[in-house]
Amino acid sequence: MIDASAPSPEPSVAALIVAAGRGTRAGGGLPKQYRDLAGTPVIARTIAAFDAHPAVAAIVVVRHADDAALFTAARPETRLPLIEAVGGATRDASVRAGLAAIPEGLDTVLIHDAARPLVSRAVIDGVLAALGDHDGAAPAIAVTDALWRGDRTVAGTENREGLWRAQTPQGFRLPAIRAAHAALTGPAADDVEVARAHGLHVAITPGDEANLKLTTAADFDRALSMMETRMDIRTGNGFDVHRFGPGGHVMLCGVSVPHSRGLQGHSDADVGLHTLTDAIYGALGAGDIGTHFPPSDPQWKGAESHIFLTHAVDMAAGEGFTITHADLTLICELPKIGPHAAAMRARVAELLRIDASRVSVKATTTEGLGFAGRQEGIAAMATVTLVKP
């Protein structure tokens, strides 16, 4: 169980996503990083994977000079700073441009191919863990197939022992990899080669077959198949009620709505945000607000409810989930929700870190029936969808 009051380690990692290639072998008329993959651009999925990781503090995307409009169109909403850099004529030149754009104060970098959108948190965690006692670390998968040499006929075989298929992200301490790139005198296949040429020791960490690099049209089909089989989709429901009491406004979905009475509660009694928070906890199987923020604890008295929702969103992200949709219904006679619904929707989208098109905030009455019909309080119900690729 997460202690809501315990401080989290300060994030110190930059994710550097290399997206400056042309990637036309995959077809589709666009560089592969901007092609659609199950309704979302490839690069948006890649960015989201690092945006959801709690150790990452900033994301740098190195794009081609001609791709400004493509990147703007594909760029997702993120909780982290998202920095653009323009790449060079070679991959190592693009990486150097990205390294130069990393903000001050970060000590570690994960260099990742934009065309690997299905990278998992487990793969990222493995790289970061290995950096505790290595100069660098990178995921890979051992070669298990027989290896042949030849053209149209087999001319010989090669020993596969000790051979690995390299993947990304490739992680390094930032000063060391900057120095390695500064000393590079020739082309390099990847950043591990750059690091080794500079004398750095690079650990091999567990890779993942799903962390494939999209190169051809067939790779897109493979990725779609993998997403279908491994995707974890959760739906959570929330319900909450607060009674009216003295006051001149109510807080609903983070918006102050003028009213002749206020809502009573241990916090600011924002029934909308409480309901969304419980829906996320429910999808995670993690209890409810009272589990994480006990009303018996005086530190939460009068607290703004966005604190609770942010904790739930962070908890979902920490488990590798992306919130994809939220549907909230407020149940009351008064105040009228319609004039404030757009502002509520925008604030909820901001707190959930998703586009407003994925948020619904609406209201209904009970036709004068029950406590809501008697204007004794406000109820709310919500459904939230979480997806882990």
Segments making up each domain of the chain, as ranges: 13-149+158-230, 232-388
DSSP-assigned letter for residue 46: H
At 6, the pLDDT band (50, 70, 90 cuts) reads very low
Q: What is the pLDDT of residue 53?
A: 93
Same CATH topology for 13-149+158-230 and 232-388?
no
> In terms of pLDDT, which residue wins out, 29 or 368?
368
Asked if residue 7 has pLDDT above 50, the reply is no
Instruction: Give percent of the chain with pLDDT exceeding 90.
Output: 84
Find the mean pLDDT for residues 190-214: 96
Asked if residue 9 has pLDDT above 70, the reply is no
What is the Cα–Cα distance from 299 to 62, expressed in whole angstroms?
44
Q: What is the pLDDT of residue 174?
A: 96
Q: What is the pLDDT of residue 284?
A: 97
Find the mean pLDDT for residues 231-259: 95
Asked if residue 87 has pLDDT above 70, the reply is yes
Is the Cβ–Cβ distance between 255 and 340 less than 8 Å? yes
Q: What is the pLDDT of residue 389?
A: 67
Q: What is the pLDDT of residue 343?
A: 97
Instruction: Specify the fold of 13-149+158-230.
Output: Spore Coat Polysaccharide Biosynthesis Protein SpsA; Chain A (3.90.550)
> In terms of pLDDT, which residue wins out, 139 or 28?
139
Find the mean pLDDT for residues 308-317: 95
Q: What is the pLDDT of residue 1?
A: 27
Of 153, 154, 192, 157, nearest in space to 171 by CA: 192
* Burial category of 284 from C-beta neighbours within 10 Å (exposed 0-12, middle 13-18, buried 19 and up): middle
What is the Cα–Cα distance from 336 to 383, expressed in whole angstroms?
22
Is the Cβ–Cβ distance between 17 and 61 less than 8 Å? yes
CA 331 to chain centre: 32
Q: Which two tokens stand for residue 41?
A: 């651009």
Q: Which two tokens stand for residue 112?
A: 């990742």
Find the mean pLDDT for residues 313-334: 93
What is the Cα–Cα distance from 355 to 346, expressed in whole angstroms?
9
At 186, the pLDDT band (50, 70, 90 cuts) reads confident
Asked if residue 4 has pLDDT above 50, the reply is no
DSSP 54-105: TTEEEEEEEE-TT-HHHHHHHPPP-SS-EEEEE--SSHHHHHHHHHHHSPTT
Average pLDDT of the chain to the nearest whole number: 92
Condensed to tens digits (0 to 9), the pLDDT of residues 10-41 reads 679 999 999 999 866 666 678 999 999 988 89
Q: What is the pLDDT of residue 160?
A: 94
Of 53, 128, 91, nearest in space to 316 by CA: 53
Q: What is the pLDDT of residue 193?
A: 97
Among 54-63, 132-141, 258-267, where is mean pLDDT lowest?
258-267
At 232, the pLDDT band (50, 70, 90 cuts) reads confident
Dihedral (CA of 132, 138, 144, 149) sign:
negative
Q: What is the pLDDT of residue 266?
A: 83
Q: What is the pLDDT of residue 283?
A: 97
Asked if residue 149 has pLDDT above 80, the reply is yes
Find the mean pLDDT for residues 300-321: 92
Find the mean pLDDT for residues 267-285: 97
Which CATH number is 232-388's, of 3.30.43.10, 3.30.365.10, 3.30.1330.50, 3.40.30.10?
A: 3.30.1330.50
